[in-house]
Chain A
Amino acid sequence: MVQDPRVFAIGLDVDDRFGVFGSMLGMTHPERLIGTPVSESAMMGVALGAALSGLRPLVVHLRVDFMLLAMDQLVNYVAKWRYMTQGQVKVPLTVRAVIGRGWGCGAQHSGTLPSIFAHVPGLKITMPSNPYQVKGLLLSAIADDYPVIQIEHRHLYNDACHVPKEMYTLPIGRGEVVRKGRELTAVTLSMGTVDTLKACERNELDVEVIDLRTVKPLDEDIILESVRKTGRLLVVDYDFPFAGVAAEVTTRVVEKAFGDLREAPQRITFPECSMPASGVLEKAFYPSPDTIAARIKALLSRAPQTSVEGGAHG
């Protein structure tokens, strides 16, 4: 905000004392934090109108689930505007949305959902897995002249890692190999990256872990290069199974590296049900480093897999 007077933030509670889990406290230009009524649809439209008129809005949603109230604006307007106008106006709009989890928050406060937005041409989607990426990707998103949605996992706010004070950007659309390995390519993102790395480190698994960092545009090249080396694919996607990011990654690998695969691709996702509130059920719902490690070991022991079940219980 200091560098560019056109940047402003808009959303529920962006200007309150909690500051979106602390991420928006201590801002240098409080007059450019616009707290809104509970009007998600219109606020996305307001942000679009402001973006078309030369400002660079950052729309903040405390939960990805609430963003769904703005789907008409996001899908029918924001995503399509560049194509319908053939680039005669820029759409420098960025959205930050938070994935909730835990403490029994239940089905409507825990959505991940990037594939819903990825489905429509015209939207870029980033999903950082640590605070360093949050800043770098967000600054790229704000600098982008067209729409970017950044989905951040709630639990990342508790993570610490080195975040430089100065401005830096990370490229949208480029993944990162965060662990080198030879026996299996694990493609993952967001919380999935955190847990997959833990699973591999604790169990000394010879697995190459690719952190996507961006859902769309998908970094195909980094995935294919790894699969050609390892011959095995496991996608760890902390989202519902049907038509998710795991399905898209798997399809592309099958289309473009079929001959390099030693075995059928696999995925770990949420089960085919919503997030329950009770602690016992919540624990059963989510994958964890232990369940991920167990699944990888089963794959590497060459136990034949004839069916793929959605869910952490592979």
Chain B
Amino acid sequence: MIDEQRLLWLLTRMRLIRRFEEAIVAIYPTDAMVTPVHLHIGQEAVPVGVCAHLRPADTLFFGHRSHGPALAKGLDPKKLMAELHGRTTGCARGYGGSMHLVDPPNGMLGSSAIVGGGIALGVGSALAAKLSGEDRVSVSYFGDAATNSGVFWESVNFAALRAVPVLFVCENNDLSNTMRQREHMFADITRAASLFMLALSANGTDVLDVHEKAGQALEHVRSGRPALIECKTRRWMKHQGVERDDLPFNVVDEARDCPIRRLESHLLERALVTRGEIDEITERVRQQVDEAIAFAMASPFPTEGDLIREV
């Protein structure tokens, strides 16, 4: 059974991601953020359900759809907002943009936008933990499209051969940009991965199911062996940008698919929280995001003289 504190944490983190991404939708048309964005609206349950089990020292490697995992792992929303606005107070000092986030104290050692490649880095970080005898795990976080790549299978194979403590998290929104999974991946991902390691499947729109399965998988990983979880979710927005997706086969039913609504109903039905407490969380998160925007807008830009630094 999950305790109330954990339940509230799950809700708060999902609300933070949702509010943050909605703020981007509102600001983006002003061109205050000059960087491509790949939003997590509708998919919040996956990074949050997984990161609930991670410690700051556990490392997390994700791809271009970065805001969800980064905020779930603990990146300060101010630093993320400032990075999106190209300011020196951004987590990458304005040099990375949305697709290259970094936050070493929270186990985020840099991120890449080339689909699939970051997966190998998670395996390497886990290998380092094993070779040094450090008690920590790594997570390689990616979408269904990344399973098309050779480097994904190379990473799975190596992790299994060498028994490294890495969790592969496939956030499957059934889309590779505009291509459905059945058109880009021939086999069922969980089933194929199960030939190499423990492989579990979760309902990615239900944070409690993600939390449960991630917990099982991570217990396995902390004992020193790799695992994979595939969390099926839905992408509400277009692959990139701030418009709602309009692919005819990508039908979103918010009543059914919204992970936040689902958790809130669950909590209220069981009288685990009150309506008042939920509203408080929503308001607190709204303020937090507003402060992040104000911080970003007040922060300085880098200057031309900063160009050749840390090459």
Over the window 90-134 of chain A, the binary record of Cβ atoms lying under 8 Å from chain B Cβ atoms (1 yes, 0 no) is 000000000000000000000000000000011000000000000
| Residues from chain A with Cβ under 8 Å of B110 in the complex | 52, 81, 84-85, 89
The reply to whether B92 and A84 contact each other, CB–CB distance below 8 Å, is yes
Q: How far is the CB of A59 from chain B (nearest CB, A)?
A: 11
CB closest residue in chain A, given B126: A49
A-facing mask of B142-170, CB < 8 A → 1, else 0? 00000000110011011001100000000
| Interchain Cβ contacts under 8 Å between A and B, 17 examples | A32-B131, A39-B154, A41-B151, A43-B120, A43-B158, A46-B123, A46-B124, A53-B59, A55-B131, A72-B114, A72-B117, A73-B120, A85-B102, A85-B110, A86-B93, A89-B104, A121-B311
Q: Are B310 and A46 in contact (CB under 8 A)?
A: no
Interface residues on B, range: 35 or more
Q: A274 on the interface (CB 8 Å rule)?
A: no
Q: What's the least CB distance linking B224 to chain A, in Å?
A: 16
Q: Cβ of B119 and Cβ of A45 under 8 Å apart?
A: yes
Measuring CB to CB, which residues of chain A are less than 8 angstroms from any residue of chain B?
Answer: 5-6, 8, 32, 34, 36-37, 39, 41-55, 57, 72-73, 76-77, 81-89, 121-122
Residues from 26 to 70 in B contacting A, C-beta threshold 8 Å: 59, 61
A147 CB to nearest B CB, Å: 11
Q: What chain A residues lie within 8 Å of B155 (beta carbons)?
A: 42, 45-46
| B interface, over-half SS | helix
Contact pick for A86, options B95, B114, B128, B162, CB 8 Å: B95
Complex interface: chain B residues within 8 A of A73 (CB): 117, 120, 151
Q: Is the CB of A86 within 8 A of B309?
A: yes
Task: Report if A42-B309 is in contact (Cβ < 8 Å); known contacts: A49-B61, A52-B110.
Answer: no
The reply to whether B121 and A37 contact each other, CB–CB distance below 8 Å, is no
A-side interface mostly: helix
CA distance A57 to B123 in the complex (A): 14
> Is B204 on the interface with A (CB-CB < 8 A)?
no
A48 to B59, CA, bound (A): 13
B203 within 8 A of A: no
Q: Contacts of A88 on B, CB cut-off 8 Å?
A: 92, 102, 104
**B128 lies within 8 A of A55 (CB):** yes
Q: Contacts A89-B109, A89-B110; is A44 near B120 (CB within 8 Å)?
A: yes
In the assembled complex, the Cα of A77 lies from the Cα of B114 at a distance in Å of 9
Q: Which residues of B contact A85 (CB under 8 A)?
A: 92, 95-96, 100, 102, 109-110, 310
Which of B157, B161, B310 has the most C-beta atoms of chain A within 10 angstroms of its own C-beta? B310
Query: What residues of chain B lie closer than 8 Å to A5, measured between beta carbons?
Result: 132
Asked if A83 meets B95 with Cβ closer than 8 Å, knowing A45-B121, A45-B123, A121-B311, the reply is yes
